[in-house]
Structure 1
Amino acid sequence: MSSGDGISGCIFLGEELLATTSFDGQVEVWDVASGFRTAHVNAHSSRITGCDVSPDRKLFATVSLDLNLKLWSAQKSTEVASLMNPSPLNCVNFDLEGQLVAVGCWDGAVRLWNWLEQKNVTTLLGHQSSVRSLSFSPCSSMLCSGCLSGEVWLWSVTAAACVGSYHAHRGSTQSLNFLQGGKLLLSAGHDSVVHVWSGGLGQTVAVLGEEKTPILQKQKHARARHRSEDEANALCVAVAGGYAAVGYHGGGIKMFKFKSGEKVWSSEDLPVSMLCLMWMEAKETELLLSGGMDHNLRVWEKQAENPENLVLVGSFGVQKGPILALAQNSTCVASASDDFTIALWLKDTLTSKPWIDPKVMCILRGHNGGVTCLAFSPDGKELLSGGKDQALMMWKINASPPVLSQSISNCHGDWITGCAWTSSAVLSCSSDCKLRMWDIQTGRLLREILSSSSLTTLCCWVRQLCHVAKTYRSGTCLYLCSF
């Protein structure tokens, strides 16, 4: 059993040794045959975000949000080198000879280090968002990098120049790997798609998992697929005025009558995954706000003459990652992104007629991971946020400019998936199966409820009852718990 606060990564150091990294900066080495831990190192002061092993398996490297690239002896688990970077790090990859190490950074840079000489050989600039994946070609002459926006860049290592780029995924490019001696490149993205590309040209060779069913068989099963489509791909829902708007993976938005379940409208030609929806409180009109995998926010208006029809009013955004959560008070709207930021927008600018592209009021920075949930306090003066960094943060929105008033770190052993306010405390739930209550003033843990499976959403807090969505493989159920 690992003593770390959740496993952030793992890599085989040999046939019998496995190294694991944790969210709290620990490295543990395990003997696979016996199951015993052979080494334990407090390697970093923050979350370890990536690891890789050298081609000869004598060394392994770790990178962290604490800015450090560290190299370790695979046999002794002792530190061999430590290299400080100017930006937090996401990923790491050795070249074929094991002398060069590439790191992907928050600031969009790819930095190449000669670890033996402990110097930065070159810095490759071009990505406009955080670099999430790296892969050297087998001959080490090419380096491939993928970023938060889904782009893939190909670099000549010797020339330190970009030789090509293309958009590979809707959402971040999470993993890259050269195949067949560099002839092919495999990419996996946050959009749940795996692509096979020509190694240097960026041409699609295959999409793994793509159906190759004969046409007649496709027609035969088309109706059955259509029936299950809405259930299988639904990502979020917002209910108001007798209608439910549902966001889908790669399928935009559909609207249903709440009581009968009849579909009355769907967005056309919008192959975008919608991750969050919110009906906005506006005068004289009903507006729906959506946040997408393509980093954009969209405002939709329900037509007065036809309430079963939504019209796109406008699309906007400044954040560089998928929009994961939305919240509102009487004057502003908050959008949370996988780029670790929260954007604040004046509600008046989102509901104005005629439509004018809104300007962001403020960008809140503090999280070290994607921001997954938001909740305004009952008086609307404070905003609560939770993220993939397992931290809860409270922001004073009525201050000018808004400021961070409280931060509670290491709240859970996995991503925070939901947050909410009570009259005197805040709540958080997580994929670690725990629902927790925290003191607003001190950040002290007050209560904890352990569930048998992952908790996905804190819906609301009413009269000492907490409404929580709980996920099972067979579906989702809603249950109540009392503090």
Structure 2
Amino acid sequence: LNRAKGGKLYFDLINKSSAESLSRLVIHPHQGFIYSACFSHDGTKVASCGASKTLKVFKSTSGEKLAEIQAHEEEVLCCAFTYDDRLIATCSSDRKVKVWNAEQGKLLRAFAEEHEEQVNHCEFTNTARRLLLATCSNDSCMNVKLWNLNKPSSQNTMFGHFEPVNHCCFSPDDSYLSTSCNDGTVKLFQVSSANEWKTIDVRSMFADGEEAIVKCSTWSPDSKRVICAARNAVLVFDVESSDMLLEIRTNRLSMVQYCHACPTSNLLAIAFSNYALELWDLENSKKKADCSGHLSWVQRVQFSNDGSKLLSCSDDQTVRLWETQKVHTSSAIGLKRDSDVLFNNEEIIVSAADNCNRLQVRDGRTASVLFQSEEMSSRIRCTCLSRQPSAVALGQESGSVQVLDVPSGKHLATLQGHTKTVLHCRFSQNGQTLVTSSEDTTIRVWKWQSGECTVLQGHKEQVRCFSLLSDSMNDSSLLSWSFDGTVKVWDIERGERLQDIQAHQGAILSCHVSPDRCLFATTSADKTAKLWSIQSWQCTHTLRGHQECVRSCRFSWDGRRLATGDDNGEIRLWSVEAGSLLKICSRDSKGGMDSLHGGWVSDLHFSPDDSLLISAGGYIKWWSVVTGEALQTFYPTGSALKKIHVSPDFSTFVTIDNIGILYILQRVV
């Protein structure tokens, strides 16, 4: 999904056909957590609500906004369509229940007097037989109510719960209403009489003393089973006997937030607090798919009425739409995020490991595989490409380094020496030298065609990265940084350590050398960035102000600015000469663009004229350097982008998300 300031598109995805993915659409409708989203019964629209106090309606095919309503005075906790999609109900922390015209956004009914505490959930009956609205709340006793929209007060109150009721759900034929409560029970009420029919003691399924708040319940399509979510489990009960038929448990560190049964099949969607969404087949008790992409807790999931689509909403401020059958049957090969890219005129070459632990080299424009290695015995952790000779190197967890020919895939060399995982590798400009760094605290400089090796020793912790101080063939200086807080300068030809700088109190997370090779910058887990003189090796400025680990940094091409990004999603622009703050990008967003970056800011790049800045993290964002405004946001299907590769002319951008999708974006203006 692309969102651009004022509707103007600056960059667009050019490999759309190869980026087919499980998540068909990502929508960013609200500023704040999204607590609820639902399909219209015909599946053409989606409504969402949350902490922004608004209700929004948009097309399920494109994400185009159809309506925006300032719905409540406090957070809106749930929304629901009527069976004919003419009306939408909302309920809120402000204790009110409201009913709106879905097309015009006009308020038709407001029930404000009967619930004494926040109203957690609302739901309409499923059929045209009789239109009723059910609501449940944190009230002490009269916490479940049925409403006839033609009456000014509730038609019935369902008694039985004495603690907050989190959720209510009509059976498919509207005969029963299930309620899910903090007291660890699910109650089934007859809708016609409002009397309690039976209680299912979910609490008894957990060890004595364990709190068992029931988050929600959902019905199987035949109304014979009721499925509920509590703690880290989903439990399936027979409605007639109240016997438990099936239990799905996740690890204790992840709580089930919500579940919903598909109206047309045996599929069950489960949302978790660990950002995951899973599909299970209740017939054979097997997980069918992991749906990755959200950056925070998934609050709600729902199938469309025909079962063809699935939506999820999250605290990450997004609603994601999925094609059920595509998720259900997908077996796509995904790429790992540790990648390298060569830009050669119009050609884009991408190297990355796949989820079968094979190295792939692809044509970036067509996504066609130029070659694919055999499955490796040890996990591939890094890769790099050489222009001349045309080769690709890969580093493995075993410590081994392999060099292969491009495009034939012929094995050229195996380099043994590292005793632990190889974390980073890079060819020299002439391709004759390969430099690798490792968890074993060493850097190795290989004349890879002969196997000759120079070992650089001195770091006390793993060496995650390094940088050649110059692209010149005559300059053999290398800069390395480590979790031990030090920066070291090496002469890689002689294997000598030239400088040893205790740069930070915490781990060094990134380092960048200025274009004129006079300065370098470091960023750290100690929440600071520093500027250093290469001539004196002294710190010229300490840049303070970030509230989290400073994850990334980049000099502008004219060397006058430094951009830094942190784990809070904040980007700061600094004056290199004065060491002073110029701009905080994430606080200066205007014109409806979201200000949150979405996850750690893992990579930064300036355009050649220094007018634009691109950042990667949970999303990809383009910024105006002058104003600090976000010009455009690109939402990948997945998240947690480690790196973005940028062509020298700032026209093409390549990245891979955490579910293995390759994205190639092109500048369009």
TM-score in terms of structure 1 length: 0.46
TM-score in terms of structure 2 length: 0.34
Q: Which has the higher contact order (CA 8 A, sep 6+)?
A: 2
